[in-house]
Amino acid sequence: MLRLHDHITSGNGYKVRLLLTLLGLPFARVEYDVDRGATRTPDFLRLNPNGRVPVLDVEDGRCLAESNAILCYLAEGTRFLPSDRFERALVLQWLFFEQYSHEPNIATLRYWITHRLMDDGRREQVEGKRRWGEAALAVMEGHLGSRRYFVGERYSIADIALYAYTHVAEEGGFDLTPYAAIRRWLDRVASEPGHIPITQS
Amino acid sequence: MLRLHDHITSGNGYKVRLLLTLLGLPFARVEYDVDRGATRTPDFLRLNPNGRVPVLDVEDGRCLAESNAILCYLAEGTRFLPSDRFERALVLQWLFFEQYSHEPNIATLRYWITHRLMDDGRREQVEGKRRWGEAALAVMEGHLGSRRYFVGERYSIADIALYAYTHVAEEGGFDLTPYAAIRRWLDRVASEPGHIPITQS
């Protein structure tokens, strides 16, 4: 059985849980207390030397790290990844956008705030992360102004990846009120058959 | 013809130039002065609303952003992307590692130093970026200790993506002397037939 090494409030973990559930794939979940270094132990570093959840144990200890790589692996050959070569590349474009321009700003501020990790060093970074997070939201808003989903007008792993931390952006102090197209898209994703909330394992 | 919107010292642009050259695909290159806001003009933002090079115009204005998504698009069906499903996912794992854990630290320090952009706000971030950059190099060193290439013992786009900013890490103040396995791998990649240096367009 697929085995997901995970932390329940992680949006990166949620991406994988959501897709596994939409695909109807059974999986076991192993929970790690990230605040207490549970992903930096020798045992965990054998699963992922980069020390981060989620990690998917595909079978017999063959492990895959990086949430968006896991999404691609699971979505291969399903309706969540287009078969057209250019559309597949556009899905990847948004997955890399998510990890480079969105997650390090929006998810990181949420993490620092909700896990009560704000200290002086981090406080100095808040303004920059706020500005770049808003810039990422503006890019999404512009794109969604004339579209229902990110690629090919169909629900794909690009939407799943971007939904994960956008729908909880307010926990990181981002106000989504000005982003009408994003809010409509969030409702659309949440209305997809089989949708589960972030805290459901 | 393929049209690459690019900046010549960009490692992200270099990834694409290198793969295009290895594949023997002719392309036109359009150079942008990133220091003077050339990627934030209305014309450029129509190519990539996220305002970054590289962008590959595949044909007739169909544009693809995010260097690693472009690599995947070009490598599809070639020897630079494995056909095995799990190995493909491992390639993606390293591409996401590169954009999340490596590039924002190693490439960003190089950019600030070589483009003379260091100011007080950035200076405060140097220590953190140095620490996380070293952590990324340590993960690579551990992986390469028992391997010739990142995935499946063959040269792939995972190597191309990680080579781009690792081979110029010293320009960002990183000393590669302690990383013997990385240095052997850098030599191996540079010895691949058809290899070009970062400044060759």
| Predicted confidence (pLDDT) at residue A60 exceeds the cutoff of 90 | no
- What count of residues does chain B have? 201
What value, to the nearest 5°, has the Cα angle with vertex B150 and ends B28 and A96? 55
Distance from CA of B191 to the nearest CA of A (A): 28
Whole-angstrom CA distances from B18 to A154, B22, B102, B146 are: 33, 6, 19, 26
Which three-class secondary structure state does DSSP give residue A28?
strand
Whole-angstrom CA distances from B159 to A86, B80, B95, B167 are: 23, 9, 9, 11
What value, to the nearest 5°, has the Cα angle with vertex A18 and ends A12 and A22? 150
DSSP H helical segments within B42-119, as ranges? 42-47, 67-75, 85-97, 108-114
Q: How confident is the model at residue A139, as a pLDDT?
A: 98
User: B10 and B53 in contact (C-beta within 8 Å)?
Assistant: yes
Probe site for chain B from A47, A58, A64, A66 (most B CB atoms < 10 A): A66
User: B134 and B106 in contact (C-beta within 8 Å)?
Assistant: no
For B95-117, what is the mean pLDDT?
Answer: 97
- Residues A67 and B60: their CA atoms lie apart, in Å, by 33
Give the orientation angle of helix B180-190 with respect to helix B120-144, to 10 degrees.
Answer: 80
Q: How confident is the model at residue B116, as a pLDDT?
A: 94
User: A196 and A21 in contact (C-beta within 8 Å)?
Assistant: yes
Q: How confident is the model at residue A19, as a pLDDT?
A: 98
Q: How confident is the model at residue A175, as a pLDDT?
A: 98
- Residues A73 and A168: their CA atoms lie apart, in Å, by 25
Give the orientation angle of helix A120-144 with respect to helix A157-166, to 10 degrees.
Answer: 140
Distance from CA of B73 to the nearest CA of A (A): 6
Establish if B62 touches chain A: CB-CB under 8 angstroms: yes
For A172-176, what is the mean pLDDT?
Answer: 98
Percentage of chain A beyond pLDDT 90 is: 96
The yes/no answer to whether this complex scores an ipTM above 0.85 is yes
Probe site for chain A from B66, B106, B129, B130 (most A CB atoms < 10 A): B66
The residue with greater pLDDT, A124 or A168, is: A168
Q: How confident is the model at residue B181, as a pLDDT?
A: 98
Looking at chain A, the domain(s) classified CATH 1.20.1050.10 span 85-190
Q: A73 and B66: CB-CB below 8 Å?
A: no
Indicate if the alpha-carbon torsion angle A178, A182, A184, A186 is positive or negative: negative
Percentage of chain B beyond pLDDT 70 is: 100
Average pLDDT, chain B: 97
pLDDT band at B121 (very low <50, low <70, confident <90, very high): confident
Q: Find chain B residues with C-beta within 8 A of A50's C-beta.
A: 97, 101, 139
For B161-182, what is the mean pLDDT?
Answer: 98
Over residues A23-55, the pLDDT tens digits come to 999 999 999 999 999 999 999 999 999 999 999
For B137-144, what is the mean pLDDT?
Answer: 98
pLDDT band at B199 (very low <50, low <70, confident <90, very high): confident
CATH for the stretch B2-75:
3.40.30.10
- Residues B58 and B65: their CA atoms lie apart, in Å, by 11
User: A160 and A75 in contact (C-beta within 8 Å)?
Assistant: no
Q: Please report which helix (H) or strand (E) contains residue A91, including its range.
A: helix A85-97
Facing residues of B63 across strands?
A: B57
Q: What pairing do the DSSP bridges indicate for beta strands A55-59 and A2-6?
A: antiparallel
Looking at chain B, the domain(s) classified CATH 3.40.30.10 span 2-75
* Residue of B49, B62, B68 with shortest CB distance to A96: B68
For B109-116, what is the mean pLDDT?
Answer: 96
The model's pTM is 0.98
Interface of A with B in 160-199 (CB under 8 A): none
Facing residues of A28 across strands?
A: A3
Over residues A101-119, the pLDDT tens digits come to 999 999 999 999 999 999 9
CATH for the stretch A85-190:
1.20.1050.10
Contacts 24+ apart (CB under 8 A), A60-66: A62/B86, A63/A5, A64/B86, A64/B89, A64/B90, A64/B93, A65/B93, A65/B97, A66/B92, A66/B93, A66/B96, A66/B97, A66/B100
| Predicted confidence (pLDDT) at residue B142 exceeds the cutoff of 80 | yes
| Predicted confidence (pLDDT) at residue B201 exceeds the cutoff of 80 | no
- Residues B38 and B32: their CA atoms lie apart, in Å, by 6
